[in-house]
Structure 1
Amino acid sequence: MRYIYYSCFLITVLLLGACQSDAPANIQQTHSESSENVYTITDFAEQQHSFNQPPERIAALSNGEMDIIYALGAELIGKPSSTYSPSDYDVHDIEQVGSTHEIDLEKITLVQPEVVLGNSQMNSKDIPNIESLGAKFVLSEAHSVDDIKRQIQLFGQMLQKETKAEELLLEIDQYIEALKQNTEQNHTRVLLIYGAPGTYMAALPNSLSGNLIEWAGGENIASDFKQLEAYPQYAQINAERIIEANPDYVLLMSHGNPEEVREGFIKEMEQNPAWNQLEAVKEGRIEVLPSDLFGTNPGTRVTDALDLLVELFQTAQTK
C-alpha cells in the first residue's frame, strides 16, 4: 500500500512539474510571435503607430488618400464628404465621414475605423478626438509630387503592400523623367488662382498646384509674391504685378462650383480694366481646372493633372 501511495505521489509531482515547465514556454513563445508581427510606421507629424496586422477598417478625410488606398489594393469603410465620385472604383455605398476641414465625429463613431487618414497641417488639433474613439490618426500632407510619393510609401508600409507601393512610385518616376525631356523648352507664364466666391489667392511654388505648374514646364509669375501668414502656400492677389508679368494663362481652381468661381473672378477683373491688357484675357486663356485634380490632392492621379497642364501649355506655345 505504501508503495502504491508513493507511486501515485511521484506521478502527480511529475505531471505538475511538466505543466509548470510547459506554461512559461508557451507564454514566451506567444509573446515572441506577437513581437515578430508588430511593425511601426512614422507619419508626417512624426507620430509612431504600431500594428499587429494590416488595418482593414480605414477612413479617409480627403480624395488623395482615398485614391492611394484603393490604388494599393485596399478599401475604405469611410470616405471624404465631397462631390468627387471616382470612376476607377466603387465607393458609392461608403459612409461619408467629413473632410480635413470638418470631421464628422458622429459618422466616424458609426463606422468604427481602426485608422483615420488626415492632414498633418490641418488636423493635428483633432488627434485627441480621433484617438478617444479608439482609432489611430495617421497624418500626412501633399504640397508637392514628392509628398504624394511619400504618402504612397507610408500607406504601403501601413498596409504591408510595399511591393505594390514601389510599382506605383516607379510609374510616377518614369512619367516624371519623360516629362522633363518634353517640357525643357516650355516657358509658359502662368497665374494660378485658388478661388471661392469673394476670395481669390495666388498659388505659390510651395503649394501642390504650384509644384505641378513647375513640373509641367510652366513659369509661375507669383513665385516671389509674399505668402499669407494663415495660408503659407498662397499669396494675396497683386493686380499691378500680375499685369506687369502678363501671364499667358490664368488658371482657376476651387473646391466648389467651378463655373461660379470663374464668373466671380471675371467680375473681379471687370472692376479693373487693366486686366484686359493681359495676354491670357486677350486670347481667352482663362481656364477652370478640374477640382478633383487641382482643388484637392489627386493621389496617384497626379500624372493626369500633369498631362492636362502640359497640353494647355503646349497649346499656348503653338499660338
Structure 2
Amino acid sequence: MKKSFFILLALSLIGITACGQTATNTTSTTNSAQAQSSSKAVTITDFANRNVAFTAAPQKIVALSNGEMDIVYALGGTLVGRPTAAGPVSIPEAKNVEQVGSTHGMDLEKVAFLSPDVVLGNNPLNTKDIPAVEGIGAKMVLTNANSIEEVMKQIQLFGQMLQKEDKAKQLNQAIEQKLKELKTNQSAVKPRVLMVYGAPGTYMAALNNSLSGSLLISAGGENIAADYPKLDNYPQYAQLNTEKIMKSNPQLILIMSHGNPEKVKDGFLKEMQQNAAWSSMDAVKNNKVEILPADLFGTNPGTKVIEALDMMNKLLQGVK
C-alpha cells in the first residue's frame, strides 16, 4: 500500500515539473517573439527623398544638431553621439554623451569610434557626408526644419524609424493643440516685427520660410521682412534694408544667434546707433529690442517648439 502511494506521489511530481518546464519554455518563447515583433525591419524616406532601410530599430544613434537630439530623447531613445555645444546641454540625460561636431563640421573619427547604427544629419548640408558615414558601416538620415510643419514631420519620421509611432503621434498632437490655441486667441491687429539673425558684423532678416518666421506667424505676429528678396546662399533670410525697415516701423525687434547673444545684440545696437533713423522706430523708442534664446530660436528646438511658441506669443502680447 505504501509502495503504491509513493509511486503515485512520484508520478505527480514528475507531471508538475513537466508542466513547469512547459510553462517556462512557453514564456521564454513568448518573450522572444515579443522582442522580435517590437523591433522589426523598417524602411523610411528621409527629407532628401532617400529610402533608408533598417533591419531593426536603431539603438546607437548620433545626432548632429540639437533638434534631432531633443526629438530622439522625447521619443524614448538615447544617443551615443551628440552635437558639440559650448554651453549647457538642453537634454540633461545627454550631458555625458560624446560630442561629435555639428551639421557644419562632423568629427568622422569620433563618429567611427562610436560605431553608430545611424547618423542624423541636415539636408542639404550633410549630403556630402553620406559616403563617409556609409563607409564606417552606418546609415545616414537627412532632415531639416524650416517650419513648424517640418519639425512635426521630423518627429513622425523618427517615430517611424525608432518604431515609436504612438509616442510621435502624441508629441505632434500637443504641437497641433498649441497652434489651435494660439490661432483662437489671435487679435485682428498683428504686431509688426523684425527678426534679425546673425553674428557681430553680419546680420540678416528672417523670412517667413524660416523656422523663426513660421514661429512668428503662428504666434500671431506680422513679419515686416516677408517680401524681402531671399539670399542665394541662405534662402530663408534676406539682407537688412534700412529704408524698408523704417517705412514698416517695427514695434518689436527680435535678435537670434548661434553665438554669444549679448555680443550680437551689442553689435547690432551699435550699427543702429550709427544710423539716426533707427532711433525713430517704435521698437527702439519703446525699448523693445529682445534677444531670443539660442536653444529655442537660434537652432531647431525639436519638441520644445511649444516653448518657443509660448515665448513668442508672450513677446507679442507685450507690445499690444
**Cα distance in structure 1, aligned partners of 2:202 and 2:156:** 35
Where in structure 2 are the equivalents of 1:275-286 lying within 5 Å?
275-286=278-289
Q: Summarize the Cα distance change of 1:87–1:120 in structure 2 as closer, same or farther, 3 Å threshold.
A: closer
Establish whether residue 142 from structure 1 lines up as the match of residue 131 from structure 2: no
Structure 2 unaligned segments of length 5 or more: list them: 1-35
* In structure 2, distance between residues paired with 1:223 and 1:296: 20
Deviation at 1:123, TM superposition (A): 1.0
Residue matched to 2:162 = 159
CA contact (8 A) 2:41 2:57 kept: no
Residue correspondence of structure 1 range 10-25 to structure 2 within 5 A: none
Match of 1:118 among 112, 121, 137: 121
Instruction: Report the CA distance between 1:240 and its aligned residue.
Output: 0.7
Partner in structure 2 of residue 229 of structure 1? 232
User: What is the alpha-carbon root mean square deviation over aligned residues?
Assistant: 1.5
CA contact (8 A) 1:186 1:314 kept: no
Paired residue total: 284
1:243, 1:274 within 8 Å by CA — same for their partners in 2? yes
Give the counterpart letter for 2:67 in structure 1: G
Q: Which amino acid aligns with 1:142?
A: A
Give 1:203's aligned residue: 206
Q: Given that residues 42 and 57 in structure 2 are in contact (C-alpha distance below 8 angstroms), is that contact kept between their aligned partners in structure 1?
A: no
SS of 2:225's equivalent? coil
| 1:193 and 2:196 aligned | yes
Q: What CA distance in whole angstroms lies between the structure 1 residues aligned with 2:238 and 2:90?
A: 34
Q: Map 1:202-281 onto structure 2 (within 5 A).
A: 202-281=205-284
Is the counterpart of residue 306 in structure 1 residue 312 in structure 2? no
- Equivalent AA in structure 2 for residue 119 of structure 1: N
Structure 1 runs, 4 residues or longer, greater than 4 Å off: none
TM-score by length of 2: 0.86
Deviation per CA, 1:40-84: give whole Å up to 9, x if none: 111000111111111000000000000000000000000001235
- Match for residue 318 of structure 2 among 311, 315, 319: 315
Shift of 1:184: 3.6
The amino acid that maps onto 1:249 is: L
Instruction: Give the corresponding residue for 1:59.
Output: 62
2:104 alignment counterpart: 101
1:74-127 alpha-carbon deviations (Å, 9 max, x no partner) = 000000012353455421110001101111111111211110000012111111
Offset at 1:219? 0.2
User: Conserved in 1, the CA contact under 8 Å of 2:60 and 2:116?
Assistant: yes
TM-score scaled by structure 1? 0.87
CA contact (8 A) 1:143 1:207 kept: yes
In 1: Cα distance, 2:182 partner to 2:48 partner: 31
Partners of 1:271 and 1:162 in 2: CA distance: 53
Which residue pairs with 1:291 in the alignment?
Answer: 294
Q: Quick one: distance in 2 between partners of 1:313 and 1:102? A: 36
Alignment partner, residue 131 of structure 2: 128
Instruction: Report whether the alignment pairs 1:180 with 2:183.
Output: yes
Q: Could you list the per-position Cα deviations for residues 123-168 of structure 1 after superposition, in whole angstroms to 9, with x for gaps in the alignment? A: 1111111111111110000000000000000000000000111111
Q: Give the distance between the partners of 1:107 and 1:295, measured in 2 at CA.
A: 25
1:175 positional shift: 1.1
Residue aligning to 2:88: 85
Amino acid at match of 2:76: G
What residue number does 1:168 align with? Answer: 171
Aligned twin of 1:20: none
In 1, Cα distance between equivalents of 2:234 and 2:60: 32
Runs of 5+ in structure 1 lacking a partner? 1-32
Aligned-partner SS, 2:195: strand
Which amino acid in the other structure matches residue 79 of structure 1? R
Distance, in Å, in 2 between the alignment partners of 1:258 and 1:127 is 33
8 Å contact kept, 1:175–1:303? yes
Q: Aligned partners of 2:91, 2:108: CA distance in 1, in Å?
A: 28
Asked if 2 retains the 8 angstrom alpha-carbon contact of 1:70 and 1:89, the reply is: no
